[in-house]
Amino acid sequence: MAISIDAAVAVPVGRSQSVAGLKFAEAIIIPVAALIVSALLFSIFLLLLGKSPLMFFSLIWTGGFGSSFSFQNTLQRAAPLVLTGLAFAIPARIGLTMIGGEGALVLGGFFSAAIAIPLVSNTVPVFLTLPLMAMAGMLAGAFWLGLTGWLRHYRGVNETIASLLLSYIAIAIMNFFVEGALRDPASANKPSTMPIGDAYRVGAMPGTDVHWGLGAGVILAILLHLLMTRTTFGFAARMTGGNPRAAQAQGLPVGFLLVTSCAIAGACAGLAGFFEVAAIHGQANASLVAGYGFTGILVAFLARQVPLAIIPVAVLFGALAAAGGIIQRRMGLPDATVLVLQGLIFVVLLTSDTLYGRIPFLQPKSGSAR
């Protein structure tokens, strides 16, 4: 019996499209279900405290999206989460669990502020100072997490432990200089570096009160999505993440891929630190240790390490952070209540990972392509 080439090709193509569609549906349904379960469990927690779950979630909407001010506050808080989410997602695509984004952010912010001191003192133009500050922050972050990748590949050090310990070292380095050689004598209450001044602050995007960190995060998310899905580097990184030994046996530069992916991640977190200094605080101090690096891990988990999906998820968690104040005032709950919800989401997400590939109606049928 003769079989045409078109017929022979159509079957696997159709099947691959069907499988891709099911995988996409699975990647949407499971995280959404995890959010719903987290909300139900948190509602039980609120009922035990004698508080109304309906009021809590309505206040999240009001505080995060209820007005133009609230929405812009949400976007402001989402800006560093996009960048720290990318700092976790990119190494995760190559099989690494990097939780050191907080350290890279802090170190990036500190180096941005440190290099600004002589530049501002000598009245170097703003159009030169801000790019140099951003570059210093990105290079500091890239080196810090790149070091973790190097330790993982060439010394066999677990990247999760190494990146966490390096985060604490980064915070200690910042505190050492901020409380010592680089301390501004005028900062009596809170040790800080010299302020960069209003003239050197990063402004807001046109028509908004949201600084350019959000725009930079969105652009980077798009570029990194293209890098990981449309380039040979991204293909090689996915191959390495799937099976490092097989990738090495095929001649792929596994060490280069690991270190480069970690350096890219560190540069993203370091850029977040730059914007925290240049757009929010105006100097480096303990306020840089705000937990954005750790919240970014949760953002990346919920986004399934997809750079484009990190953007809406970061906005969601930005809304949670923005609503903390109104929840405290209206319901008499601590501002940290939203952190309990975030922790619960994280636990449920980790548990939901066991569902991938096990939901019957989301699996391809063995005879569907025939």
- DSSP string computed for 150-179: HHHHHH---HHHHHHHHHHHHHHHHHHHHT
One DSSP character per residue, 45-114 reads HHHHTT--HHHHHHHHHHHHHSSHHHHHHHHHHHHHHHHHHHHHHHHHHTT-----HHHHHHHHHHHHHH
Q: What is the mean pLDDT of the chain?
A: 90
* Closest C-alpha among 345, 335, 315 to residue 77: 315
* Closest C-alpha among 115, 109, 141 to residue 280: 109
CB distance 364 to 10 below 8 Å: no
Global pTM exceeds 0.95:
no
The first and second tokens of residue 174, run together, are 């910042």
What are the structural domains, with CATH classification, of the chain? Answer: 79-327 (1.10.3470)
One DSSP character per residue, 268-313 reads HHHHHHHHIIIIIISS-BGGG-SSHHHHHHHHHHHTTT-HHHHHHH
Mean pLDDT of 219-241: 94
* Closest C-alpha among 61, 33, 87, 78 to residue 345: 33
For the stretch 289-347, pLDDT in tens is 999 999 999 999 999 899 999 999 999 999 999 998 899 999 999 888 999 999 999 99
CA dihedral 55, 59, 60, 63 (to 10 degrees): 180
pLDDT band at 366 (very low <50, low <70, confident <90, very high): low
* Closest C-alpha among 6, 162, 20, 88 to residue 310: 88
For the stretch 123-169, pLDDT in tens is 899 999 999 999 999 999 999 999 999 999 999 999 999 999 999 99
The first and second tokens of residue 86, run together, are 């990318």
